[in-house]
Structure 1
Amino acid sequence: MAQQVEFKKVRDFGEVIGDTFLFIKQNFNPLLKTFIYFCGFFMLAGLLTAIMVQLNMFRETGGMKIAPIYTSSYARISDFVGQYLLLIIFVMLFYNAIYVSVLSYIILYIEKGNIAPSTQEVWGYYKYYFFRILGSSFVAGIFMVICFICCIIPGIYVFPAMSLFYPIIIMENETLGHSFDRSFKLVKNEWWITAAILLVVWIITYFMSMVIQIPAAIIMMFSAITHTEQPISNAYIILSATGQYLSYIFFIIPIIASALIYFNLVERKESTGLMSRIESLGADAAERHHSEEEY
């Protein structure tokens, strides 16, 4: 049996990616349970809202040959805007829940000595950090949008540092300002390796997510062949939205990778994990020596 993944250690490019999937393999069942337990409601609510929005949009654009339900354009627009805003809220809460639940799982895994925590243990961290991360995500999101609006290059430059933003908040229990500043300090002189790891991880995540979208693509192609006047069907809309939301489970991969990157950079610059292991060895040696003297 493979040794349990140790987070607090220096890793190279391949080890970060390899240990990301090794950690998922070793913790698959408890991680999946954590995901369902803490993210399931937001996932289901977002899915149902997305289906409703897409079906209404499809109907209003003439895709469905049915009589209009609404009596005025204002009512149709206001209803659609309300549904779309609700969808945005559920998507934000869903992403927030994934980040908080997975990172809370990891910090408890480390504290328990590389042992999978229970959902009750994760809940303690989850409820403590949920709104802190949610509030911080607004600031981080605005910052990223500004960077990409100014130019694509600033957005790409800050992305590796911002990927460490949430791990720092939870792993170090720090404030937004401290986490923002520390994320850039950790990435300093390590930008290229960090960006390369994140690029590979996100490419892998993207292609794994696309696999779930294959059934919807097959239905779309079949409908396009058999129904040339109306290639998009209700079944395609529902299956496509369902596949999209199910594929979000793969978002766990870059979150775990970002945690490994965080500890890798901390160990390279501060060696906190190494020092704690040395202190632990010293404490064990002193305890054994004390026991031998008593004997």
Structure 2
Amino acid sequence: MEQKDIRFRKQRDLGVVISDSFDFLKQEAKPIFRMIGIYVLPFVVLYAGAQVYFQRNVLSQFDLTNPESLMADIGPFYQNLFMFMFFGLFVQSLLMGTYYSYLEAYIKHGKGNFHLTDISSKFFSNSLLALGANFIFVIMVFFGAMMCIVPGLYFANTFSLLVFILIFEKKGISDALNRSWKLVNSSWWNTLLINLIAVVIVYAVGIVLSIPSLIMGVSSTIFSTEITNPADYPNWYWVLNAISSVITTVLLVIPFTFQAFQYFNLAERNDPTTPLAPQE
């Protein structure tokens, strides 16, 4: 495949945002996944292990037929759930911070004008920025969802560009919130469709990967009298679940790429003469 320097700062319609995103991922797959493999994959594997532990050893302890036992176990359950969700948020933020550091270098310096060692020092700081922004994002979406599903969906879409703007423009969280609000609301439905397509792609892959596990679970429930608890499923069942979790987590680079291209598309449409970030 012919290698080219893909231009991010450009107006695009929905189809071009998606096609250019996949062109970029296809062309830059080797350095991107090498970077993820070195800096992020160990934490993704730990997260997959935590997910298996939570499913196998926490959820399986609930006895829905015994209300007293259920109430006694609810405290430890929420503690484990909170720790699992926090670790998942950390891993996603690490992936975002690392990947967006690569995008930032690619956009500012151009293809072939930097090496991973040149930007590795930024991975940790950008991941911390992503973690803080994701905390704020989750809190807003959570309270929006508590009021009603619609406000939660509105906040999730409106601030979907928050982390990329914070890392790329480096003007602080308040400015990033305002910027995401302004840009997304200039093309809210278009951005929603882009985000939904990205999520559907990732979850479709996850569903395909989980088919063997689903078949195992259903067949064990229907045909087996020996396996009544998910904790009793064979080890290969949990290995498949872990592999599926690792792959779907890494594939989050797809929506992250969609959001980066959509950011530049909306920025060029709304204020094409304004510098998007200080050049290094």
TM-score after normalising by structure 2:
0.84
Whichever residue aligns with residue 102 of structure 2, its letter is: Y
Cα distance in 2 for residues equivalent to 1:182 and 1:265: 11
Aligned to 1:184, the other structure's residue is in SS state helix
Offset of residue 192 of structure 1: 1.8
1:248-263 matched pairs, under 5 angstroms: 248-263=249-264
Aligned to 1:283: none
Aligned to 2:139: 142
Question: 2:94·2:130 contact (CA, 8 Å) conserved in 1?
Answer: no
Q: Deviations over 1:259-285 (max 9, x none)?
A: 000011111112249999xxxxxxxxx
Q: Deviations over 1:132-157 (max 9, x none)?
A: 22122212211111111112222222
Aligned to 1:53, the other structure's residue is in SS state helix
Whichever residue aligns with residue 13 of structure 2, its letter is: D
1:135-214 matched pairs, under 5 angstroms: 135-214=132-211
Question: 1:9·1:264 contact (CA, 8 Å) conserved in 2?
Answer: yes
Whichever residue aligns with residue 158 of structure 1, its letter is: F
RMSD: 3.0
The percent identity for this pair of structures is 27
Change (3 A) 1:149 1:50: same
Offset of residue 177 of structure 1: 0.5
1:209-220 matched pairs, under 5 angstroms: 209-220=206-217
Residues 161-170 or 121-130, more deviating: 121-130
Offset of residue 74 of structure 1: 11
Counting matched residue pairs gives 268
Offset of residue 37 of structure 1: 2.0
Aligned to 1:45: 46
Aligned to 2:252, the other structure's residue is in SS state helix
Question: 1:35·1:98 contact (CA, 8 Å) conserved in 2?
Answer: yes
1:98-109 matched pairs, under 5 angstroms: 98-109=95-106
TM-score after normalising by structure 1:
0.80
Q: Which stretches in structure 2 are left out of the alignment for 5+ residues?
A: 64-68
Cα distance in 1 for residues equivalent to 2:249 and 2:227: 29
Aligned to 1:208, the other structure's residue is in SS state helix
1:111 aligns with 2:127: no
Question: 1:42·1:93 contact (CA, 8 Å) conserved in 2?
Answer: no
Whichever residue aligns with residue 193 of structure 1, its letter is: N
Higher Rg: 1
Cα distance in 1 for residues equivalent to 2:207 and 2:115: 31
Cα distance in 2 for residues equivalent to 1:275 and 1:83: 41
Q: Which stretches in structure 1 are left out of the alignment for 5+ residues?
A: 63-71, 277-295
1:125 aligns with 2:141: no
1:26 aligns with 2:47: no
